[in-house]
Amino acid sequence: MDAFVLLGSFVLLMAIGMPIAYALGLASLVGALWIDVPLDAVMIQLAAGVNKFSLLAIPFFVLAGAIMAEGGMARRLVAFAGVLVGFVRGGLSLVNIMASTFFGAISGSSVADTASIGSVLIPEMEKRGYPREFATAVTCSGSVQAILIPPSHNAVIYSLAAGGTVSIAALFVAGVLPGLLMGLTLAALCLMIARKKNYPKGEVIPLRQALKICVDALWGMMTMVIILGGILSGVFTANESASIAVVWAFGVTMFVYRDYKWRDLPKLVHRTVKTVTIVMILIGFAACFGYLMTLMQIPLKVTTFFTSLSDNKYVILLLINIMLLLLGTLMDMAPLILILTPILLPMVKLLGVDPVHFGMIMMVNLGMGLITPPVGSVLFVGSAIAKLKIGVVARAMTPFYVALFIVLMMVTYVPWLSVWLPRVMGL
């Protein structure tokens, strides 16, 4: 009954249209009153939830991504990807996927990836003879890579939800191979579709122009080297790498590229602060919610339920995948990570699943939710840029859903894709 009151009030509040963060907070108050937990204890959990040093990485990574997204980096990455793969049949779709790979390694956000790459490439692909819905589907599905490729904001949130027991650096490194696998799978699908439907072939860029494009893009791509290289070499932590990335992004944007106007900076900082504020409120209320779930022994009850269905690790992982895919269509990614990680992680650890591996399983699952109606935020952004109905884009994405599901199964049942690189790096 306790769990029903807590979870039922949360679902009811969401059903009447209340934002998820506030629904978590009010449901926590209802649950606390129901089981006679002092409200002071709930407020202490709220403060403790946001009083984490590791959370400093989130605002810095968001700000660095915003500066690079609006400062001309997306356009230069598109041009650079065009040099590498734009000359083959269906080359612009490959350019889209590769540009998302590069930009995801800077922004760490699928929504920012879709907005930046999509605003450049969706109109360009349509102009070159690609169907607009196909261009949008490629953009949306390609941006899911940003969930996996470091620096992923959601990896930081997963580490927090796991109680700080999973290293952020290990999660960053673990996302490299699954992220690249996703990009290669989507690229192979684009090549197949391009050959079948005879999409246009790009032109080879002259050597002098190609060199100029590469040098121009190199400044922005150094952000990836700073973030990953600094963490892996031990020169600085994830938080320090995020702050240094902001300084580098600011310098490149304002003094090298010089595409961004100084008078627009306050607006950019204001948007970043709004985004970070929403995330922090969500994290604080989710900490209260998780505290009450622990008191009500919900994680133990869920574990008992799953193990009663089967004692086979692979069957349970399949059931978890199905549950995450369904929930991902109804809720955004960050709150699901914060709510479900304390419930599911103890169970999968009992089954012998590495916490880093399980983090990658969650990322791929919930990343697919970002491009799945009815609540897929990335799908909304892509549809808005393309000026298409959600249903039209969702139908065009059918083969991409299949490709991403194949990647999910590989990440789930081939653990070394996630854990090999962190172990080699000693993380």
pLDDT (tens digit, 9 = 90+) per residue, 281-300? 878 888 888 888 778 877 77
pLDDT at 86: 66
pLDDT at 70: 73
Range among 95-99, 186-190, 245-249, 372-376 rated most confident: 186-190
Range among 59-73, 142-156, 325-339, 390-404 rated most confident: 390-404
**Would you say residue 78 has pLDDT above 90?**
no
Q: What is the mean pLDDT of residues 215-231?
A: 77
Range among 31-40, 198-207, 213-222, 392-401 rated most confident: 392-401
Question: Is this prediction's pTM over 0.75?
Answer: yes
**Would you say residue 55 has pLDDT above 70?**
yes
Average pLDDT, the chain: 83
pLDDT (tens digit, 9 = 90+) per residue, 141-189? 998 888 888 878 888 889 888 887 888 888 988 999 999 999 999 999 9
pLDDT at 411: 95
Other beta carbons within 10 Å of 218: 13
pLDDT (tens digit, 9 = 90+) per residue, 209-222? 888 888 887 887 77
Q: What is the mean pLDDT of residues 362-366?
A: 91
Domain that holds residue 263: 2-424
pLDDT (tens digit, 9 = 90+) per residue, 93-151? 888 888 888 877 777 778 778 877 888 788 888 887 889 999 999 999 998 888 888 87
pLDDT (tens digit, 9 = 90+) per residue, 10-49? 888 878 878 878 888 888 888 888 888 888 888 888 887 7
Bigger pLDDT: 227 vs 353: 353
Q: What is the mean pLDDT of residues 258-265?
A: 80
Question: How many domains are contained in the chain?
Answer: 1
**Would you say residue 338 has pLDDT above 90?**
no
pLDDT at 321: 92
